[in-house]
Amino acid sequence: MTVSNTLSDGLVVAKRNMIKIKRVPDILVFTTMSPIMFVLLFAYEFGGAIDQEGGGAGYREFLIAGIFAQTVVFGATFTGYGLAQDIEKGIIDRFRSLPMSPSAVLAGRTFSDVLYNVVTLVVMALTGLLVGWRIRTSVGEALLGFLLLLVFAYALSWVMAWVGMLVPSPEVVNNASFMVIFPLTFVANTFVPLETLPGPLKAFAEWNPVSAVTQAARELFGNIPAGAPAPETTSWALQHPALYTLLWAAAVLAIFVPVANAQYRRSISR
């Protein structure tokens, strides 16, 4: 199989996935509803408590990058869910009996999920703007921030693609991944400043890649108020958040692209 076959087959698969999102708008509605709900809950429920003198405005600005990170992390489960569903419905068997590139199914799936993440990020950014979030840097830096979030999400998609092929049914993808995803997104600087966390949790959060991508996005959007003290951390990860995020994504891709593809080639027996 040539590389161009993998690309063109991958695009055919990606197109099919995008058609499905278009035909079943509920998927998009529900996956963006929950982060929107988080924005409203966190911003107005906790905002006042955390940011007393600012009346919550500062917290909302702090919060949005964390919500972006949470959205793309949760969005990655969609990769696993969609794949598990395709296995269950026999679509993957159909693909596997065709003389197409075997790598194209996962390549197409993860690629269409990037496009999907672009759409959800746009929705979340608009929600953010409504509650007072602003980009205080340049357009270029803001785009870099979004790009970093997408790269991070892309790496996670490959992990979830692998998970999606291991589990017995699509429902299990959600249940199993929430046990990992909740601590990963909450034991981080996404919703609360790191300084408030107790010792062991703080240590975990400092090296948590979700913290790093959130921190990097905040810096690129300029959501760290001028004159605010740098995060009090000795963690190299948070001092170089963008670099750490990229290294982490590269490591994950290096491991999970081959692992997931090997799993795909192995027989998926029902």
Partner 1 sequence: MAFSPTVTNAVLAQGLVKHFKDVKALDGLDLRVPQGTVLAVLGPNGAGKTTAVRILTTLLQPDSGHAEVAGVDVVADPATARSKIGVSGQYAAVDEYLTGFENLDMIGRLYHLGRKRSQQRARELLAQFSLDDAGDRMAKTYSGGMRRRLDLAGALVADPPVMFLDEPTTGLDPRSRTDMWATIQRLVAGGTSLLLTTQYLEEADLLADNIIVVDHGKVIAEGTADELKAQVGGERLEITVSEGSDLPRAAQLLAPLGSADLTVREERRSLLVPVTGGAAVLAAALRRLDDADIAVGDVGMRRPTLDDVFLSLTGHAAEEPPGDGETPKDDKQEVAAR
User: Which residues of the chain form contacts with partner 1 (CB under 8 A)?
Assistant: 1, 5, 8-9, 12, 15-16, 19-20, 23-24, 89-91, 93-100, 267, 269
* Alpha helix positions (H), 91-226: 91-96, 104-130, 139-166, 170-186, 199-207, 209-221
Q: Min. distance of Cβ 118 from partner 1 in angstroms?
A: 20
- Cβ nearer to partner 1, comparing 15 with 134: 15
Q: Min. distance of Cβ 89 from partner 1 in angstroms?
A: 7
Alpha carbons 170 and 56: distance in angstroms, whole number: 39
Q: Min. distance of Cβ 101 from partner 1 in angstroms?
A: 9
Rg (CA), the chain: 19
User: 195: which DSSP letter?
Assistant: G
- Cβ nearer to partner 1, comparing 4 with 234: 4
Q: How far apart are the first and last CA of the chain?
A: 27
229 CB-contact burial (10 Å; exposed 0-12 / middle 13-18 / buried 19+)? exposed
Q: Min. distance of Cβ 157 from partner 1 in angstroms?
A: 20
- Cβ nearer to partner 1, comparing 23 with 234: 23
Q: Min. distance of Cβ 12 from partner 1 in angstroms?
A: 5
- Cβ nearer to partner 1, comparing 73 with 87: 87
Find where tokens 């600087």 sit.
189
Q: Min. distance of Cβ 87 from partner 1 in angstroms?
A: 11
- Cβ nearer to partner 1, comparing 97 with 234: 97
- Cβ nearer to partner 1, comparing 234 with 269: 269
Buried b (16+ CB within 10 A) or exposed e, 66-93: bbbbbbbbbbbbbbbbbbbbbbeeebbe
Alpha carbons 75 and 154: distance in angstroms, whole number: 10
Whether the CB-CB separation of 263 and 166 falls below 8 Å is answered with yes
